[in-house]
Structure 1
Amino acid sequence: MSHVVFVLVPGVHLLDLAGPAQVFSMAGDFGQPYRLSYVADQEEVCSAQGLPLAAHTQWPELNADDLVVVPGWRASTLRGGPELSRSVLERLRAHHTAGGAVASVCAGAEALGRAGLLDGRRCTTHHHLQDELAARHPRAIVVRDVLFTTDDRVVTSAGIASGIDLALHLLAVRHGPALAAQVARDMVVYARRNGHEPQASAMLRHRSHLDDAVHRAQDLIDARFAEPLPLAYVAASVGVSERTLTRMFHRATGGLTPLRYQQTLRVERAEHLIGHGTTVEAAAREVGFQDVRMLRRLRSRAPSEATG
């Protein structure tokens, strides 16, 4: 049994903590039990969502097989985050020096940075905090717009839910991808994502507008992007003409047509499948391309061309 220790700071985000904790807890249901502990500088920590959390003030004995995780916390800037005690930073450094792994979710990367563990290493954090992390820790190699990074037993992940991806990745590395897939399935996680996948999927990147009709059209395309969706059908579903929908869609999404949006979703899903070992031909069929050459053409385009 391995030990996973979560370091709790005031204002900790519940999902930053609960997502990875759930992953490691459920691993025991498939024969790989983990012991979970929660430590802090005080016996009770209030989460960002107002739920008080109990913690131990004494750290357990750890060895090189164990993992220390720093979940993120609520703060508009890293500078404005909670105080991190010297003892916590020393513990993080000591565990890594002894051969152990340390990990962070979202703003938790700041703790690793203050401990000196990001110097010369690849790392990431929430996309809103990446520039500040790079400025505060200039020796760190901040990788932008990825879900997680691993570098010399230092593992960092992006915002909130990406902590689940990080934990599933660590299970896959240690116990094989089958266990990670079993845990993901039981957690009803849509798919185990690779670290290099973007933090914001196409379903999120083009949703910052306020046009209800376009949102309804996107809802339909999101749910059925692998199916043939004639423009006339999509337009009728949201109660506008084809020409009106095209014009509204183009304006709301920054230049996309409904077809281009559908193709973007297909290519993004195909890239995910290929990254997990699916052949290009099988991925093309899975996402609805009748001709694999169309997928190859779209993949070969520059990002701005493939999605514009």
Structure 2
Amino acid sequence: MPTPATTAGPRLLPAPRRPAAAHRVAVLAYPGMSVFETGIVTEVFGLARPEFDVDWYDLVLCAEQPGPVPVVGGASLHTPYGLAELATARTVIVPGVPDVTADPSPELITALRRAHRRGARIMSICSGAFALAGAGLLDGRRATTHWRYAELLARRYPRVEVDADVLYLDDGDLLTSAGSAAGLDLCVHVIRRDHGAAIANAVARRLVIPPHRDGGQAQFVEAPVPADPDDDRIAGSIDWALAHLAEPLSVAQLAGRAHMSSRTYLRHFARATGTSPIRWLIDQRIRASLALLEETDVSVEQVARAVGFDTPVTYRHHFGRVMLTSPSAYRRAFRTGAGQRA
């Protein structure tokens, strides 16, 4: 039986005896964390599931300092388990860290590395990927995190191959998820990996979530503010294009609005926006179509025409490239003003 770590201060209750045969899952608790992600893990792995007649999971909450862990909202979690318990678990889950600019503590780095060397499966939810990267576990590996932090993760840890488009990534012994709710997708995926699709689907139904969600993070990213380049001529052509997205637009037309040759315009546009005019136009048309899908009943064919695509086929192709899902699937997921049955 693992011996719980002890600290000075109030006497801690002894750690309860854990079933020897169960798959132990250790989730890390941080001071100042939101309990949503811990709740996800508890709901999926912590509740007993005797109806499945399989060896289920044995969940323990671990902290760098055992005892009370203050969390958002003035509450606190209490655990007798420290990093020694985390380092010996079969699955380790690191929820989002409160500060993505801070390095993980040396003690946490040691525990994560020890668990990984033992062959544990290491998972992160949202910004928890920063702790894994800080421990060096993601060097040379693919990983994801919340889209708002993806660029920072790639910049801070250049040896990590960051994919900001997916809801989660399974890289064998290292699994990472995007935003907090994507942690649910990852946890259900892990059950599917461990116990098969039937049990994973049953758990998903009880959580009232789909067993697998279409698309990736792109469908949740806030629409970017149009580029505001220093070059007034490029800025003027961008403003004009945004007001005429439904019309056929060419590089020559945009260059004419900027009083440049097409070649000069391409060079200045790329310098100002980091992309080409055609790619930018496609992305803006896709973004413009989202409100029509969310708020109206017009057909996909009508949406395509309204935002300037020649054919619905072209629209669907580019929508899938940008959003990693189809227009119809996006509409089902984000339709406003209509109730949905559980």
**TM-score normalized with structure 2 length:** 0.58
Q: Distance in 1 between matches of 2:178 and 2:44?
A: 17
Q: Which amino acid aligns with 1:156?
A: T
2:28: which partner in 1? 7
Q: CA RMSD in A?
A: 3.5
1:255: which partner in 2? 288
Summarize the Cα distance change of 1:49–1:74 in structure 2 as closer, same or farther, 3 Å threshold: farther
Q: Which amino acid aligns with 1:38?
A: L
Q: Distance in 2 between matches of 1:103 and 1:129?
A: 17
2:136: which partner in 1? 116
Local SS of the residue matching 1:39? strand
% identity of equivalent residues: 32
- Confirm or deny: 8 A CA contact 1:40 1:57 kept in the other structure: yes
Q: Which has the larger radius of gyration?
A: 2
- Answer 1 or 2: higher relative contact order, Cα 8 Å, separation at least 6: 1
2:253: which partner in 1? none
- Confirm or deny: 8 A CA contact 2:129 2:145 kept in the other structure: yes
Deviations 1:61-115 (A, max 9, x none): 8668x1000011334xx11x4x632222111111111211101011111110111
- Unaligned residue ranges in structure 1 (runs of 5+): 209-250, 268-293
Q: Distance in 2 between matches of 1:259 and 1:61?
A: 48
1:41, distance to aligned residue in structure 2 (A)? 1.7
Summarize the Cα distance change of 1:296–1:136 in structure 2 as closer, same or farther, 3 Å threshold: same
Number of matched pairs: 230
Q: Distance in 1 between matches of 2:107 and 2:196?
A: 34
- Confirm or deny: 8 A CA contact 2:26 2:86 kept in the other structure: no
**TM-score normalized with structure 1 length:** 0.64
Residue 137 in structure 1 maps to residue 169 in structure 2 = no
Q: Which amino acid aligns with 1:173?
A: R
Q: Which amino acid aligns with 1:255?
A: A
Query: How do 1:31-50 residues align onto structure 2 when only pairs under 5 Å count?
Result: 31=52, 32=54, 33-42=56-65, 43-50=67-74
Q: Distance in 2 between matches of 1:52 and 1:12?
A: 10
Query: How do 1:13-32 residues align onto structure 2 when only pairs under 5 Å count?
Result: 13-26=34-47, 28-31=49-52, 32=54
Q: Distance in 1 between matches of 2:110 and 2:85?
A: 14
Deviations 1:194-214 (A, max 9, x none): 6xx312537x75799xxxxxx
2:97: which partner in 1? 73
Q: Distance in 2 between matches of 1:111 and 1:193?
A: 26
Residue 201 in structure 1 maps to residue 236 in structure 2 = no
Local SS of the residue matching 1:127? coil
Deviations 1:240-281 (A, max 9, x none): xxxxxxxxxxx9x953387655899998xxxxxxxxxxxxxx
Summarize the Cα distance change of 1:180–1:35 in structure 2 as closer, same or farther, 3 Å threshold: same
Query: How do 1:214-293 residues align onto structure 2 when only pairs under 5 Å count?
Result: 255-256=288-289
Local SS of the residue matching 2:84? coil
Deviations 1:106-143 (A, max 9, x none): 11111101111010000011111111111111100000
Residue 163 in structure 1 maps to residue 180 in structure 2 = no
1:144, distance to aligned residue in structure 2 (A)? 0.9
Q: Distance in 1 between matches of 2:175 and 2:70?
A: 25
Moved more, 84-93 or 163-172: 84-93
1:45, distance to aligned residue in structure 2 (A)? 1.3
Q: Which amino acid aligns with 1:256?
A: S
- Unaligned residue ranges in structure 2 (runs of 5+): 1-21, 226-283, 301-310, 328-342
1:297, distance to aligned residue in structure 2 (A)? 6.2
- Which of 129, 154, 172 in structure 1 is aligned with 2:174? 154
